[in-house]
Amino acid sequence: MTMDKTLTCRDCQEEFTFTAGEQEFYQQKGFTNEPTRCPSCRTARKRSRDGGYTGGGAYSSGGGGFGGRRERQMFAVVCAECGKDTEVPFNPRGDRPVYCSDCYRAQRA
């Protein structure tokens, strides 16, 4: 069982908690490094890296979300493998099969 960890932010030197849930999320995404910045400094760094830009870009759609970025538009589909209703972040064209996340992972393996 994963336990919460206390880490020190490299920017502000304040301690922050890297929760067990966040650790599991990092592991699922394949991230191998722990965060080095607290959530506040991460947000500030993203804003400065984006030049203060908070609008949607070419790859986003929908309406306002985290950090001023727009939420990704999702499209309802039926998985070509298992038949389960799911959502995908792109508009399927119909000429290729679309899978739920579980079947997609199985296809890639």
Domain ranges of the chain: 5-50, 75-108
Alpha-carbon dihedral angle through residues 44, 49, 54, 59, given to the nearest 10 degrees = -130
> What is the model's pLDDT at position 46?
85
pLDDT of residue 34: 93
- Stated as kind and residue range, the H or E segment containing 31 is none
Q: Which residues contact 73 (CB under 8 A, 6 or more apart)?
A: 61, 62, 89
Is-contact 34 18, C-beta < 8 A?
Answer: yes
Evaluate if residue 58 carries a pLDDT over 50: no
pLDDT band at 59 (very low <50, low <70, confident <90, very high): very low
pLDDT value, residue 67: 55
pLDDT, tens digit (0-9, with 9 covering 90-100), for 2-43: 799 999 999 999 999 999 999 998 899 888 999 999 999 988
Q: C-alpha distances in angstroms, 20 versus 10, 32, 38, 44?
A: 20, 15, 15, 24
Q: What is the pLDDT of residue 82?
A: 93
Using a pLDDT cut of 70, give the percent of the chain over it. 81
Structure confidence at residue 66 as a pLDDT band (50, 70, 90) = low
Q: How much is the pTM?
A: 0.45
For 44-54, the pLDDT digits (tens) are 888 887 665 55
